[in-house]
Amino acid sequence: MANLSVQKAISNLASRYPIVVIQGQRGTGARDLVRSMFPRKSFVDLEDRRTFSLAKQSPRTFLMAFPDGAVINAASRLPAIAEALGYHVLKWGFVPGKYIILCDDASVFDTADGKVGICHAGGLTVQDTEDLKMQSSNPFQIIANGQLYDVLRTGKDPEEIIRETLEKDAGRFINVSNTQTFLSFMRNCALSSARPFSMNALAKASGISAPTSKSWISVLLKTALVRSAESEDGDRVLFFSDTGILCRLLGINSYSDLILSDNKDSVVRTFAFNELLRGRFAKCLEPLLLPGSECDFKAEWRDGFSIVVDSNIEVTDESMSRARSLIKEDGPRAVILYLGDVTYSRNGVDCIGFRDWGKLAMEMNYFS
C-alpha cells in the first residue's frame, strides 16, 4: 500500500464527496494506491492518446461510458473534464466516491459547491516510511533519497522523475526546444528553495526574460514540483515538493554530500515544510503554515507555534537561543525541529525529533 496517510484522507473524502481529487507530482504512488483502493472502478488514463482524443471530443458524452464512476488519471491534461464531472453529478445524482481524479493541478476544480474534495499526495511521511519498513535510521539519508514512493519502492532515481516531468508534464506548457534552458531554470530555482526569491534574479541567472521566468514558475507550480508560500514579510517563498528531486538538482547525490553542502540548511527547511504539510493533509487540515521573519515557520493551528528548524542531529546553542527569544507571554509556543531521535523539553522549549514532526502537524501529542 503506497501512502498510508493519504489512504486515510482519500477514504474520508470518498465517503463524503462524489468527486475526489488527488493532487500531487509524479512518483507519489497515488495512481497505484487508488487503483488498489477502488479495484472495481474503470481506470481511465488521459495520458493515453486514444483515450484523450475520445474524451476531448465531448467530455460529457465520454463520461457516460462509466455509469458507475471511474478512476481518471492525468485529468490536468483536459481541464474541461472538471465541468463535465460536475454536470454528471447534478444529472445522475450525488454518489459519494463515484469519481476518483488524479492530477498535478487541481485549480480547475471548484470546491465551493460541495461536490469536490481535494487531497494532496505529496509523498510519504516519515511515519509512512517507517510503517512500510522503507526508513533509514539516518535522517540525512531520508532527505537525500526523498520521500517519493516510486523511488523508495523500485529504486527509481529522482533524475528519472525529473525527466518524465519535463517530457510529459512541463512539455504541455513549454516548447520542446527550451527543455535544457528550463532544466537550468529548475536548478536555479532549487538554489532558492525555502528562501525568498526574486523573479528578476532567476531570469538573469537562467538567461531568460522576467515574463518567461514568471511563466515558468507557474509551470513548476502546475506540475506540483514546487509549492509557493507567502512569508510574514509578504515575500514569496518556493519549496520543492520532494527533497530527493531538490538534492539532485543541487548536485547532491548522497547523504554525505548533503551534510557537507552549503545548501544543507535550506534543504532541511524544505524537508521540514513538506513533512509538516503532509501531516496536515493526512488529517484533511488546512496548511496554515507560513515562513516566519524571526522564526523559520509560523504555524497558525489550533495551538500556535513559532518553529525553529535545526539542520543537525543535536540542538545547537544557536537554535536554542533563537527559540528562547521567541517565548512571549500569551504568544505562540516556541519549538525546535531537529534531526535527532529524541523529543524532549528544555528551558521552556520543546525540541522535537524528526520522527515526531508529523505528530506536531497533526495536532497530536508529540511526547507520546
Domain that holds residue 241: 126-265
Question: Which of 120, 145, 167 marks a domain boundary?
Answer: 120
pLDDT for 176 equals 60
Instruction: Spell out the residues 6+ positions from residue 244 whose beta carbon is closer than 8 angstroms to its own.
Output: 144, 145, 146, 147, 148, 151, 158
Distance CA 56, CA 72 (A): 14
Would residue 155 be called left, alpha or beta, if left means φ above 0 and alpha means ψ between -120 and 50 degrees? left
Residue 46 CA to residue 56 CA, distance in Å, equals 10
Nearest to 290 by CA among 310, 275, 306, 278: 306
Instruction: List the Cα angle 362/366/368 in 5-degree steps.
Output: 120
- Whether residues 326 and 259 share a domain: the answer is no
Q: Is residue 78 within 8 Å of residue 59, measured between CB atoms?
A: yes
Q: Is 114 a domain residue?
A: yes
Regarding whether 171 and 95 lie in a shared domain, the answer is: no
- Residues 151 and 255 occupy one common structural domain: yes
Question: Is residue 366 one of the residues assigned to a domain?
Answer: no
* Distance from C-alpha of 110 to C-alpha of 129, rounded to nearest angstrom: 32
Q: Are residues 325 and 243 in the same domain?
A: no
Same domain, 179 and 105: no
Residue 331: what residue type? G
Determine the straight-line distance between the first and last CA of the chain, rounded to whole angstroms. 26
Same domain, 58 and 187: no
**What CATH number does the domain containing 13 carry?**
3.40.50.300
Residue 270 lies in a domain: no
Q: Say which residues have a Cβ less than 8 Å from residue 24's Cβ, sequence separation at least 6.
A: 30, 104, 120, 121, 122, 123, 224, 241
Last residue of a domain, which of 67, 98, 120? 120
Are the C-beta atoms of residues 35 and 44 closer than 8 Å to each other? no
Is the distance from CB of 165 to CB of 241 less than 8 angstroms? no
Say if residue 288 is in the same domain as residue 256: no
Between the alpha carbon of residue 317 and those of residues 121, 292, 336, 355, the distances in Å are 36, 20, 11, 22
Q: How many domains does the chain have?
A: 3
Asked if 131 and 256 sit in the same domain, the reply is yes
Which amino acid would we find at residue 245?
A: I
Contact yes or no for 226/239 (Cβ under 8 A): yes
CB 151 within 8 A of CB 123: no
In the block, which residue shows the cell 546553542?
317
Is residue 271 included in any domain, yes or no?
no
Domain-embedded: residue 273: no
Roughly what angle, to the nearest 10 degrees, separates helices 30-37 and 4-14?
A: 50
Q: Do 232 and 185 have their domain in common?
A: yes
Please tell me whether residues 144 and 239 are part of one structural domain: yes
Q: Which pLDDT belongs to residue 1?
A: 41
**Both 43 and 153 in a single domain?**
no
- CATH number for the domain harbouring residue 174: 1.10.10
DSSP state of 196: B
Does some domain include residue 367?
no
State residue 333 phi and psi, 5-degree precision.
-70, 140
Residue length of the chain: 368
Output helix, strand, coil percentages for the chain, rounded to the nearest 5.
Answer: 45, 15, 40
> Can you list the positions of beta strands (E) in 162-251?
226-230, 236-240
Q: What are phi and psi of 281, to 5 degrees?
A: -65, -35
249 and 300 belong to one structural domain: no
**Among 211, 240, 265, which residue terminates a domain?**
265
The answer as to whether 272 is a domain residue is no
User: How do the pLDDT tens digits run along the chain, 368 residues long?
Assistant: 455 678 888 999 999 999 999 998 999 889 999 999 999 999 999 999 999 999 999 999 999 999 999 999 999 999 999 999 999 999 999 999 999 999 998 989 988 889 999 988 878 889 888 887 876 789 999 999 999 999 988 888 999 999 999 888 888 888 867 889 999 999 999 999 999 888 999 999 999 999 999 999 999 999 999 999 999 888 999 999 999 999 999 999 999 999 999 999 999 999 999 999 999 988 888 899 999 999 999 999 998 999 999 999 999 999 999 999 999 988 899 999 999 999 999 999 999 999 999 999 999 999 98
